[in-house]
Amino acid sequence: MPTAVVVGKGPRLFLVRPPPVEPAGFLWDADIERAASRRLGGRPEDLPVGLVTRLSELPSDVRVVTPDASLAESLTARARRAFSTPELSELRRARSALPSVEPETERDFVRAVARQALEKALAAPEEVLVTLAREEERIERALGREARAVEAFSQVPGSPLERHRATWEAARGALDAHHRRLLASLESDARGLLPNLSAVVGARVAARLLSAAGSLAALGRMAAPRLQLLGSRRRPSPERGPRYGLLYRADRMADLPVGRRGAYARSLAALASIAVRADASTRRDLSKALIARRDRRVADLRRSRR
């Protein structure tokens, strides 16, 4: 069965058929940036019209293949014919038959595709929340350092230090206001992306857990014991290691005596693991059931004498 290969090189798509037919090239767009955008968009309407026309003219007994899965999906929708994955030997023959492309043009296209792909990834809600969580944590540490530094500031009434202190307090007030606005945005985004986890542990802790894990997929795969210790720092010591990491700020943790918080952290990590898996996959609302289980556990631990 004759085979035709659709393969990209630079800002063009080529239809390669067995010799003596010469490869036919079709430009995504004359502008490099628009060509990269169309290539990344994966929309059937962005395909070069000439390529779609040529594919529709191929006999039905010609097998058409392409190595790009997203391109195959778009071509299937537009050209109304099935596309399969080429064998390695077919792909090598097709690429060897392609005409040369100006190195500068190909380099500019690759750079444009890479830059736009990175911008698209960084604009995703998950990446935005990770960035907000890390920035909020950085600002909180800065405020903590400033608060400790105030204690060492010598107060001498009537001296130039008083004017300096007023300026310092104004700067700290602005930083604190920025932190409050940042925290409000962080919690809003966390409730949108991680509704179940935010309900169980709190929106701020949910965002920091996501930041520590690196991605929602990684956090969703994480076992409860690993999630419990996420964000902890083990110090070289003969004493017992940490029992929880970021969960020490979770909702209802402060309602328990110190001796019962480790047991609560274990239970909370199990509930958080269920919550984040729902957020990462099914998107089902499990918050009411999980909160009820969490609150029952808190009540049991408060009654416990051990």
Task: Look up the CATH number of the domain holding residue 202.
Answer: 1.10.246.90
What is the residue range of 180's domain?
Answer: 125-232+242-303
Dist. CA 106–CA 110, nearest whole Å? 6
Q: Is the pLDDT of residue 285 over 80?
A: yes
- Residue 249 — pLDDT band, cuts 50, 70, 90? very high
Please tell me the pTM assigned to this model: 0.72
For 9, phi and psi rounded to 5 degrees?
-150, 115
Under 8 Å between Cβ of 261 and 244: yes
Asked whether residue 177 falls in the same domain as residue 86, the answer is no
Question: Average pLDDT for residues 127-145, to the nearest whole number?
Answer: 93
* Domain annotation covers residue 237: no
Same domain? For 160 and 285 the reply is yes
Contact of 182 with 132, CB cutoff 8 Å = yes
Question: Is residue 188 located within the same domain as residue 259?
Answer: yes
Residue 272 and residue 209 in one domain: yes
Predicted confidence at residue 243, as pLDDT, reads 72
Q: Considering Cα of 95, then 98, then 103, then 106, what sign does the dihedral take?
A: negative
Question: Where does 123-215 have alpha helices with state H?
Answer: 125-151, 160-193, 195-201, 203-213
Residues 164, 287 share a domain: yes
Considering the domain architecture, whether residues 76 and 218 belong to the same structural domain is answered as no
Per the domain annotation, does 171 fall within a domain?
yes
User: Pick from 104, 120, 136: which residue ends a domain?
Assistant: 120
Co-location of 155 and 253 in the same domain: yes
Q: Does residue 162 sit in the same domain as residue 272?
A: yes
On whether the CB atoms of residues 63 and 37 are closer than 8 A, the answer is: no
The pLDDT value recorded for residue 242 is 64
78 shares a domain with 155: no
Task: Give the chain's domain count.
Answer: 2
**Whether residue 168 sits in one domain with residue 80:** no
Contact present, 65 and 4 (Cβ < 8 Å): yes
Q: Which residues of 220-232 are buried (b: 16+ CB within 10 A; e: fewer)?
A: bebeeeebbbbbb
137, 247: one domain: yes
Q: Which residue has the higher pLDDT, 204 or 81?
A: 204
Crossing angle of helices 203-213/160-193, nearest 10°? 80
| Two structure tokens written together for 72 | 């195959």
pLDDT of residue 11: 93
> Is 46 in the same domain as 109?
yes
